[in-house]
Each structure stands twice: as structure tokens, then as C-alpha cells.
């Protein structure tokens, strides 16, 4: 089925689709940041239509830092927790969606997970799906106790690799009532074998080097690091040239300050990340789920179809955006605006 939606051509496959989607239209706004005070910080200057609050909460004994973006007002509103791509910090894709969802009536929390950005935890730049899943649950704890949040209306958003981790969160946490997945990197073996099939270390090579690095860390306490992206090196974490092109601006000194992105990760991460199996969580997933994917997002239509088929939810929808590459869902306004609007429609329909 072909149709034109909000300026982008879409092919949409439906399974137990939602009826009566709600569209809340509010003027778009640029990102705003709070000043770290305990109260909600207004960003009404000019045309901004949301408030931002810099917040802290604890997970596994570490302090995590984030930004809560919420609509103006004093009443309780539905809330969304966001997880982003491999090695993300909150200033990247999560804030692009948090600000837009706030404009559409949702209190949305973008935060740095343990070991990265402004949050605590060591070793630095460790990529651990298990830790991120636990951190997301701690974020839900925090949201559920916030004065602006309706604890009975909490949803989740996963972007890129965060989609796999959010499937695991939503599969086991009854507080999550609905789920949206955007340009997912779906972690299952067949997809990852193709992802790492362009030369350089294979999937099994990466898992093995991660195990060796983990053993060395346990033995000596020394952390072995590698680059996340590099235009010439196929052994890096994400050896795909277009992904390198997106990340390169974040490698400059402008982004090198604390709380910003670093082009490094702990090699020991490979043992856990690349052996993660999203299928076993997808089969247990029962909440209404939207899978929004670019035709050229990771794994293409095949990967998102694989997960869509395995999601156990009675109400689920797969929506494919023709011709759009994976990272354009991170910050290209021509893609993010309609993607965030579709996500907001889905969330609004299921958080009533």
C-alpha cells in the first residue's frame, strides 16, 4: 500500500492496527535546556512551547543525569522514557524526539545511561544492554513519582539500538503501556552477521575479542578502548561509512566536553552487545507497538519485518519510509518531524 503522509512517501504494513489515532498539532520548537534547578524551567521565549528540567536519579548506585521536557501547565500528563543508539548521549537523537513529544503533550525523559555522557559509572563508555535496560527501569521509577506525570500513562521510545533494549524493558515492565520503535537496530544473529559482513572482524570475531577484553579487565583492571567510527578502519564498532559520516561532527572539540559524545567505547562491550537476542524479548511483548523504519535503516525491511512478526502484541503496526537512510531519523528535520508526529499519534492513541 502506497500513500503520502506528512510529506514523505510511506509503505505501511498493518497488523491489528489502532483505530482513531489522535493528532495533536502544536508549533515546532528548537531544543531548550534547563538550568539545573529543582523546579521546571520555562522556555517560553519566542515560540517555544515546552519546559525543560535538568534532573538526576539513581540506578545501581550511580547518579544518572537527564533532561525532562514537558508541556506547560500544572496537570498530570502522560510520560515517555527514551533510549538512543549505540554509544549515544542524550544531546543526540533522544533530545530531537523529547522536545517534539513535549510539544505534543508528553513529559519526555532523555537521559545519559551509565558509563556515558554526564552520568556516572565505570568503566567509561561501556556498552551494556543489561545496564541500559536497568537504567530505563530506574528512569520509569523516577517518572512515576514526578508531580507532572500520570503514573498510569507511561510509554517508551527506542531509537536505533535502543529499540532492541526498549523491547526488553517493555516485555517485562507492566508500567509501560505502549511502545514506539524508530529506525531500530534489531539485535539478532542473522541481522548482525549481515551488518558485519563487509570486511573486518566478523560477528563471532567481535564477540570473542569482547570476551578477551572483559577477561583482561577482570584480571588487571585495564580497559581496552576502540573507536566507535572511523572512515578507514573496518574493525571499529560501527564500520559503516554513512554512519561514520553522521558521527564525525560529534568528534570535534566542540562536543568533547563532559556530557557530550566521545568517539570511543570499551571493547569488552562487544561480548554483551553483539550476543544480545531481541527475539526472546519480542515474543513476550504484549503492549501496543509501533515499528517505524526507513527502507535503508539497519537491516532494511527484512530486519524490521523479522521483529514485527515475532512481537507478541495483538496490536502492532509496521510503517516503512521509502528511500530513507538510518541516521536521518536521528536529526534530519525532514524525517524527524513526520516520524515524531507519527510516534506522538501512536502514543496518544494508547495512553488515554
Beta pairing class for 176-182 and 149-159: parallel
Say whether 39 sits in a helix, a strand or coil: coil
Q: Which residues contact 19 (CB under 8 A, 6 or more apart)?
A: none
| Residues composing the chain | 352
Is residue 105 included in any domain, yes or no? yes
Is residue 83 included in any domain, yes or no? yes
What's the whole-model pTM score? 0.88
Burial class (CB in 10 A: 0-12, 13-18, 19+), 158: buried
Structural domain harbouring 24 = 2-195+277-350
Is residue 236 included in any domain, yes or no? no
Report the CATH number at residue 343: 3.40.50.1820
Is residue 258 included in any domain, yes or no? no
Beta pairing class for 8-15 and 2-5: antiparallel
Neighbours of 251 (CB within 10 A): 18
What DSSP state is assigned to residue 317?
A: E
Per-residue pLDDT of the chain (352 residues; tens, 9 = 90+): 333 333 344 554 434 433 322 222 223 333 333 333 333 444 444 456 899 999 999 999 999 999 999 999 889 999 999 999 999 999 999 999 999 999 999 999 999 999 999 999 999 999 999 999 999 999 999 999 999 999 999 999 999 999 999 999 999 999 999 999 999 999 999 999 999 998 899 999 999 999 999 999 999 999 999 999 999 999 999 999 999 999 988 988 766 665 689 999 999 999 999 999 999 999 999 999 999 999 999 999 999 999 999 999 999 999 999 999 999 999 999 999 999 999 999 999 999 8
How many domains is the chain built from? 1
Is residue 136 included in any domain, yes or no? yes
Is residue 295 included in any domain, yes or no? yes
Is residue 314 included in any domain, yes or no? yes
Is residue 327 included in any domain, yes or no? yes
Amino acid at each position: 500500500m502506497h500513500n503520502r503522509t506528512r510529506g514523505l512517501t510511506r509503505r505501511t504494513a498493518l497488523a491489528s492496527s489502532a483505530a482513531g489515532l489522535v493528532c495533536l498539532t502544536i508549533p515546532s520548537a528548537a531544543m531548550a535546556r534547563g538550568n539545573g534547578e529543582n523546579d521546571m524551567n520555562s522556555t517560553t521565549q519566542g515560540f517555544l512551547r515546552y519546559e525543560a528540567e535538568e534532573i538526576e536519579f539513581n540506578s545501581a548506585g550511580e547518579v544518572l543525569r537527564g533532561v525532562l521536557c514537558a508541556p506547560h501547565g500544572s496537570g498530570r500528563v502522560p510520560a515517555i522514557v527514551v533510549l538512543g543508539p549505540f554509544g549515544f548521549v542524550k544531546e543526540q537523537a533522544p533530545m530531537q524526539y523529547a522536545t517534539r513529544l513535549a510539544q505534543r503533550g508528553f513529559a519526555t525523559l532523555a537521559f545519559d545511561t551509565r558509563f556515558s555522557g554526564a552520568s556516572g559509572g565505570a568503566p567509561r563508555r561501556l556498552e551494556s544492554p543489561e545496564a541500559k535496560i536497568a537504567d530505563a527501569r530506574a528512569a520509569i521509577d523516577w517518572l512515576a513519582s514526578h508531580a507532572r506525570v500520570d503514573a498510569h500513562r507511561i510509554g517508551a521510545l527506542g531509537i536505533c539500538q535502543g529499540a532492541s533494549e526498549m523491547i526488553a524493558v517493555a516485555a517485562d515492565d507492566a508500567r509501560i503501556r505502549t511502545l514506539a520503535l524508530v529506525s531500530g537496530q534489531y539485535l539478532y544473529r542473522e541481522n548482525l552477521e549481515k551488518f558485519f559482513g563487509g570486511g573486518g572482524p566478523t560477528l563471532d570475531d567481535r564477540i570473542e575479542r569482547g570476551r578477551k577484553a572483559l577477561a583482561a579487565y577482570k584480571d588487571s583492571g585495564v580497559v581496552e578502548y576502540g573507536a566507535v567510527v572511523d572512515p578507514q578502519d573496518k574493525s571499529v564498532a560501527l564500520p559503516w561509512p554513512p554512519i561514520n559520516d553522521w558521527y564525525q561532527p560529534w568528534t570535534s572539540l566542540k562536543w568533547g566536553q563532559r556530557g557530550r559524545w566521545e568517539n570511543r567505547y570499551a571493547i569488552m562491550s562487544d561480548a554483551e552487545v553483539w550476543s544480545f537476542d531481541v527475539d526472546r524479548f519480542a515474543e513476550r511483548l504484549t503492549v501496543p507497538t509501533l515499528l517505524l523504519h526507513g527502507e535503508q535503516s539497519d537491516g532494511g525491511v527484512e530486519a524490521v519485518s523479522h521483529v514485527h512478526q515475532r512481537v507478541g502484541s495483538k496490536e502492532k503496526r509496521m510503517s516503512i519510509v521509502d528511500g530513507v537512510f538510518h541516521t536521518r531519523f536521528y536529526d534530519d528535520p525532514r524525517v524527524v518531524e513526520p516520524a515524531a508526529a507519527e510516534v506522538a499519534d501512536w502514543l496518544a492513541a494508547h495512553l488515554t
